[in-house]
Structure 1
Amino acid sequence: MVLSIVFSTATIAMILLIRRFYGNKLTAKWKYYMWFFLLISLTIPLLPIQYIDWKHSVPQANNSIMNTSQHSETSTSVNNGNWMNDFSYSVNRLDFTILSEIIFYGWMIGMVFFGVFAILAQVRIHRIKNASTTIENQDVRRLFARCKKSLGITQDLVMKESSVVTSPTTFGFFKTYILLPNDLDKSFSMREIELILLHELHHYKSKHVHVNYIFLVYQIMYWFHPLVWWAFKEMKLDREIACDAAVLHTLDRQSYKDYGNTLINFAHRYARFSSFHLTNQFFGSKTHLKKRIINIADYNGDSLPKKRKGIITCIFLSIVITIQVPVTAVTAEPNDYYDFDDDQPVYEDFSDDFGGYDGSFVLYSMQNEQYHIHNEEKGTLRMSPNSTYKPFSALFALEQNVISIDHSTLNWNGQPYAYNEWNRDQDLPSAMQHSVTWYFQELDKQVNEENIQSFLEKVDYGNHDLSGGIEEYWLESSLEISLIEQVQLLQDVYTNQFEFEEEHIQFLKDVMILEENDSGTLYGKTGTGNINGKHRNGLFIGFVETSNDTFFFATNIEENDHATGSKAAEITLDILNQKNIYHHRKEGKQNDT
């Protein structure tokens, strides 16, 4: 909604500036056409263009180049018995859920109200049409036929008269009707009636009746935006001026004055003006009438230079509107989706394993180059990584020489935390084992925001967004990544597609070991989104090395509370066991944040 307001306001302002300072160099038709760019601008925020992947896809590798049999001297112990303990770090966030719901339902109520109003307007027009009578004057009917022929109109149009309308009116989506005020032939000459009919027929020929319905839909959707309503009012004026110009184009120069006088005479004869929605009317408000008369008096034909300038103006507006597309895609929020384009993923249903949690599971076999996915929609939805980001924070710090394999200790600053394991000096193995958030926050500070941004872009980590601040961007904040991207990134780091130091990759792998048994070696990291004391988002990412394959996985669960990383890990291990990939000995809990 915010984007729609910004884009529509900017587009309206640009069109008004062009009309104000450049309008006399354009034909009436091109000034009217400019308003269609407003429709495009209003449409862009409603389109699902946030799904377009504007980033360069990172190629996937097939063969591991890591030495899986060697570990550094500071590696963590295999079969870490307490690796599923929860160390949840709560962040405080404003909950806009209720406000968002109020805005949404308010918008819906407004659309219903104006939708009902539009339906009633259509019913009113229908009643007026049914109450109208056939025009008996044969001269007027023959004149109508000649006007149609002169404009090349062969379709069957219905012309009637009504005591309700005070201005010639054209309407009808499927069948077009032209209603004239009663006894028009007694108040105006045949020449004046001819000019009136030409005006109404040009409305039909230019599809203005159908455009009315299109603009009505946008008025209903943007009922809350006064500038949009005002812009549509100005658009109607430009449409009438364009229609006047189209009539003048068919007349000789001596008849221009006759056409203008017909408008003026009509204003004198029918001082009372009744406006009808979804119609095109010959006579409008006196303010609009004055502007139309001025344009008729100044009309000198549609010169070729004016037409060319109109085309150039529309090309310029096209460029401006085109720029709005990637801007909308980049700023789409709060959750955007990753454009997953694998040809043949295997979709599986693990709903029973998720036990009522809303979530997804993504598995990739390196040997078979095959994805297995439960709930692809959730698998492509970007979300906060929480503590599953910590391995990458560590890798960036290693690459930046903030820490090293032999010297990774950071001193505790004395601030007491809820977990005793955090209240001491930490090295990378202990910080990863106990998911010590302050350790990785300090690493980020020393790496600094500029370098982190470069690393995120290098590895194409999700949306690359650090706007949440150096301490919390990965804790239910700005940085987001989908499960499928997590799996792809794990594989790319595993195969070192980014050409990091090999010893850093190996060290990171060592500190991610969770357990090892006859079925293989399990590596991973959990994460829990703890918002205002409630566990909203549980994550578990990692990989399993077996004797004949390496499997990369990522799991997410969501709930208003009780959705933890340890629970996501339990679900993952159950699925891996079912698929005969890895058999976990159930002991201990995972360290979550």
Structure 2
Amino acid sequence: MYLPFSIHFLVCCFLLSFFIGGILLVKYLFKNQLSTTFQYYLDFILCFTLLVPFIPNTFFYWNIRTLLPFSFSDSTTYSEYGNYSKQTLSIINQRLLQDFSISTDKQLPDLLITSFEVIWLSGILLLVLIAIYYHKRFYQKQKYLKPVTDSALISLLTTCKQELGITSFIDLRLSSSIKSPILIGLLKPKIILPHSLTQSYSIQEVRYIFLHELQHYKHKDILINYIISALTIIYWFHPLILYALKEMKLDRELVCDSSVLNGLEEDQYTDYGYTLIHFADQAHSYPLAPRTNLSQGKELLKKRIIHITHYQSPSKKLKVKSYFIFGLVVLITLQTLPLIARPISNKVAFNFGSSNVKEEDLHAFFGDYIGTFVLYDLEEDTYSIYNKTHALERTSPNSTYKLYSALFALDANTITPEHSKRIWDGTMYPFETWNQDQTLISAMNYSVNWYFQDLDTTLGASKLATYLKKLHYGNEDLSGGMDTFWLNSSLKISPLEQVQLLTAFYKQDLAFNPKDILTLKQAIKISESSTYILSGKTGTGRVNDKDISGWFIGYIEKSGKAYIFATHIASKEYADGARAADIAISILKEKGLYEAS
């Protein structure tokens, strides 16, 4: 099911709230078992998760890729049939390919979606303008920076750099417009000192200042500031995320303080703390500023002073605990991120293992559609796949499910091959062919929803769940309701699963009466000639009167061989079963498996 990015983003934000809450809870519960450094490392995990809504969901299939015992090394490219036409459909049974479908209203109203997008993007634009204003205002003042000529300060900076193993050039400047030392410059770093510093502070206090700012440089904190600023702008509306980012700034300062304290004697800790206090009343900060200040306000200063007062170098035991807790959080994160990322496509992937897989480039057949084509050669036991990522994703089966709905009803004797008639209840539908009594053949030909809904209702949820479990049909989820679970709702299946299940159906490997399967094979037969037989079923997902998902599954028998296939396409509109069938048939023609009679 195709959904706007704004909805995916909101769903991801909702799920991220729980994950971020978990990270913050871990930091609180294990604050005495985690070193300051590893608490800061947890913030980086948090930052990475905030990128999830903007990362292609293919990135999160590492679990699938690591489980697959094959690689898609054999590649075939097709360049023709980029523009397909309805001529293909005119030569076969069009009734089976038209796939009559009724719209379901599953998405939020367009007005609400548009309103959120306007408000969200307006907030981003406003904050970007504010950031640009303060950046421009600050960097204009750099014109008036003066180089430091005091040889003692220059020598002290050089000594501090040597202590920390820093060899890069870092400029040292003076400014009359600041009252607290700062580090700026991602590519050309500068430490800017207030003019009053040399007169008001001792050489030892200046040393503490240099060590602090150089630790920021060593930890790449200017770059981290840019990342935090960008995330703050994007998630301006999310209070929990903003709080977490604020805590990350504090953790950054605590890590910096710890790094400085590690190089000092214990009797110097107090002096270092007093140096911070001296700048507390003078510190100021620009919003979203990509730079570091020695002190960032009294609230943060209080927490830093407490940290300095109780500081001890991490023991070996603490380091071991920190590694263990951090590693555990990383493992949980790796398992959780795919679950958070799935709303991006509104699909769920399944694991697939086969050693006989060939990747094909069939994009010319699909045009602007997101789609996949899976072909299984029964005799050779090989798969040919276009767009393997999409082939592994589960989505609503829509009318392709009707094949199995009928199979369940036949098995339960709800209907029989000879007596499959269901009486129309008089409800008026938008298709004239639906407004009459139906048999299995007519209902399959005209894809009559009410017929199969009636079969499922008669069968009952309990038996239906048993049948789905018996077939391992996709996610086996009936929670969407008896009439709608297969219509852009809870039940989902992937194209590869469709092919695997249809293969078992064709081979009569399913634990169902062979007579019932033969009845359904006749019901889905589309066309035949002296050289081939084509069978299949289409499906269309229509939401808010727009066709957003198109299926065509089936098999073709030719020269004593059978090929099972599934095609799925998705788009904001104009993606239906007929178009999916047209694409599939064009591909089969190109492969020499289908010939117009």
TM-score (norm 2): 0.79
Q: Which moved more, 1:544-553 or 1:169-178?
A: 544-553
- The residue correspondences of 1:47-196 to structure 2 (distance < 5 A) are 47-49=55-57, 52=61, 83=95, 88-96=100-108, 97=110, 99-104=112-117, 106-196=119-209
Please report how far the alpha carbon of residue 303 of structure 1 lies from its aligned counterpart in structure 2 after TM superposition.
2.9
Q: Contact 2:57–2:345 at 8 Å: present in 1 too?
A: no
Please report how far the alpha carbon of residue 397 of structure 1 lies from its aligned counterpart in structure 2 after TM superposition.
3.1
Distance 2:209 2:104 in 1: 67
Aligned with 1:160: secondary structure?
A: strand
Kindly tell me: are residues 440 and 155 of structure 1, through their superposed partners in 2, closer, same or farther at Cα, counting changes over 3 Å? same
Q: Does 1:219 align with 2:232?
A: yes
Q: Contact 1:487–1:553 at 8 Å: present in 2 too?
A: yes
| 1:322 paired residue among 330, 334, 338 | 334
Please report how far the alpha carbon of residue 391 of structure 1 lies from its aligned counterpart in structure 2 after TM superposition.
0.9
Distance 1:248 1:574 in 2: 71
Q: Does 1:273 align with 2:281?
A: no
Name the structure 2 match of 1:239: 252
Kindly tell me: are residues 542 and 165 of structure 1, through their superposed partners in 2, closer, same or farther at Cα, counting changes over 3 Å? same
Q: Contact 2:475–2:493 at 8 Å: present in 1 too?
A: yes
Q: Does 1:282 align with 2:291?
A: no
Q: Contact 1:25–1:309 at 8 Å: present in 2 too?
A: yes
Name the structure 2 match of 1:473: 485
Name the structure 1 match of 2:554: 542
Please report how far the alpha carbon of residue 459 of structure 1 lies from its aligned counterpart in structure 2 after TM superposition.
4.3
| 1:39 paired residue among 38, 47, 65 | 47
Distance 2:574 2:204 in 1: 81
Q: Contact 1:165–1:274 at 8 Å: present in 2 too?
A: no
Aligned with 2:158: secondary structure?
A: helix
Q: Does 1:388 align with 2:388?
A: no
Name the structure 1 match of 2:75: none
Deviations 1:440-465 (A, max 9, x none): 11222344445544544554545544
Kindly tell me: are residues 114 and 494 of structure 1, through their superposed partners in 2, closer, same or farther at Cα, counting changes over 3 Å? same
- The residue correspondences of 1:373-522 to structure 2 (distance < 5 A) are 383-400=395-412, 402-405=414-417, 408=420, 410=422, 426-453=438-465, 455-456=467-468, 459-481=471-493, 483=495, 485-522=497-534
Kindly tell me: are residues 331 and 462 of structure 1, through their superposed partners in 2, closer, same or farther at Cα, counting changes over 3 Å? farther
- Name stretches of at least 5 consecutive residues in structure 2 with no aligned partner: 1-8, 71-90
Deviations 1:223-253 (A, max 9, x none): 3323222222222222222222222222222
Q: Which moved more, 1:300-309 or 1:180-189?
A: 300-309
- The residue correspondences of 1:507-586 to structure 2 (distance < 5 A) are 507-531=519-543, 539-554=551-566, 565=577, 581-582=593-594
Letter in 2 for 1:306: L
Please report how far the alpha carbon of residue 133 of structure 1 lies from its aligned counterpart in structure 2 after TM superposition.
1.0
Kindly tell me: are residues 19 and 409 of structure 1, through their superposed partners in 2, closer, same or farther at Cα, counting changes over 3 Å? same
- Name stretches of at least 5 consecutive residues in structure 1 with no aligned partner: 60-78, 586-593
Distance 2:222 2:547 in 1: 55
Letter in 2 for 1:52: Y
Kindly tell me: are residues 338 and 115 of structure 1, through their superposed partners in 2, closer, same or farther at Cα, counting changes over 3 Å? farther
Q: Contact 1:90–1:532 at 8 Å: present in 2 too?
A: no
Please report how far the alpha carbon of residue 555 of structure 1 lies from its aligned counterpart in structure 2 after TM superposition.
5.3
Name the structure 1 match of 2:358: 344
Which of the pair has more CA radius of gyration?
Answer: 1
Distance 2:457 2:319 in 1: 59
Distance 2:297 2:145 in 1: 24
Distance 1:306 1:334 in 2: 42
Q: Contact 2:160–2:211 at 8 Å: present in 1 too?
A: yes
- Once the two structures are aligned, what percentage of the paired residues are identical? 36
Distance 2:21 2:340 in 1: 19
Please report how far the alpha carbon of residue 470 of structure 1 lies from its aligned counterpart in structure 2 after TM superposition.
1.6
Q: Contact 2:49–2:337 at 8 Å: present in 1 too?
A: no
Q: Which moved more, 1:123-132 or 1:435-444?
A: 123-132
Letter in 2 for 1:10: F
Kindly tell me: are residues 384 and 188 of structure 1, through their superposed partners in 2, closer, same or farther at Cα, counting changes over 3 Å? same
Deviations 1:529-551 (A, max 9, x none): 45566666555433333333334
Aligned with 2:284: secondary structure?
A: coil
Kindly tell me: are residues 334 and 280 of structure 1, through their superposed partners in 2, closer, same or farther at Cα, counting changes over 3 Å? same
Letter in 2 for 1:502: P
Letter in 2 for 1:544: I
Kindly tell me: are residues 566 and 156 of structure 1, through their superposed partners in 2, closer, same or farther at Cα, counting changes over 3 Å? closer
Kindly tell me: are residues 85 and 549 of structure 1, through their superposed partners in 2, closer, same or farther at Cα, counting changes over 3 Å? closer
Distance 1:439 1:57 in 2: 40
Aligned with 1:211: secondary structure?
A: helix
Distance 1:85 1:48 in 2: 33
Distance 2:454 2:431 in 1: 18
Please report how far the alpha carbon of residue 5 of structure 1 lies from its aligned counterpart in structure 2 after TM superposition.
2.2
RMSD: 4.1
| 2:223 paired residue among 204, 210, 217 | 210
Distance 1:258 1:246 in 2: 15
Please report how far the alpha carbon of residue 57 of structure 1 lies from its aligned counterpart in structure 2 after TM superposition.
8.8
Q: Contact 1:348–1:372 at 8 Å: present in 2 too?
A: no
Q: Contact 1:49–1:325 at 8 Å: present in 2 too?
A: no
Deviations 1:533-590 (A, max 9, x none): 66665554333333333344455677888876567657766776676655566xxxxx
Aligned with 2:319: secondary structure?
A: helix
Please report how far the alpha carbon of residue 495 of structure 1 lies from its aligned counterpart in structure 2 after TM superposition.
1.9
Letter in 1 for 2:190: Y
Deviations 1:206-228 (A, max 9, x none): 22222222222322332332322
Please report how far the alpha carbon of residue 166 of structure 1 lies from its aligned counterpart in structure 2 after TM superposition.
1.2
TM-score (norm 1): 0.79
Kindly tell me: are residues 338 and 116 of structure 1, through their superposed partners in 2, closer, same or farther at Cα, counting changes over 3 Å? farther
Distance 2:548 2:265 in 1: 74
Kindly tell me: are residues 166 and 435 of structure 1, through their superposed partners in 2, closer, same or farther at Cα, counting changes over 3 Å? same
Q: Contact 2:357–2:385 at 8 Å: present in 1 too?
A: no
Kindly tell me: are residues 198 and 459 of structure 1, through their superposed partners in 2, closer, same or farther at Cα, counting changes over 3 Å? same
Name the structure 1 match of 2:21: 13
Aligned with 2:314: secondary structure?
A: coil
Q: Contact 2:396–2:487 at 8 Å: present in 1 too?
A: yes
Kindly tell me: are residues 504 and 303 of structure 1, through their superposed partners in 2, closer, same or farther at Cα, counting changes over 3 Å? same
Paired positions, count: 562
Please report how far the alpha carbon of residue 186 of structure 1 lies from its aligned counterpart in structure 2 after TM superposition.
0.5
Q: Does 1:297 align with 2:305?
A: no
Q: Which moved more, 1:551-560 or 1:22-31?
A: 551-560
Name the structure 1 match of 2:212: 199
Please report how far the alpha carbon of residue 400 of structure 1 lies from its aligned counterpart in structure 2 after TM superposition.
4.7
Distance 1:504 1:426 in 2: 18
Please report how far the alpha carbon of residue 83 of structure 1 lies from its aligned counterpart in structure 2 after TM superposition.
4.2
Letter in 2 for 1:35: D
Kindly tell me: are residues 121 and 368 of structure 1, through their superposed partners in 2, closer, same or farther at Cα, counting changes over 3 Å? farther
Distance 1:420 1:189 in 2: 92
Letter in 2 for 1:242: V
Letter in 2 for 1:33: Y
Q: Contact 1:91–1:475 at 8 Å: present in 2 too?
A: no
| 1:310 paired residue among 317, 322, 327 | 322
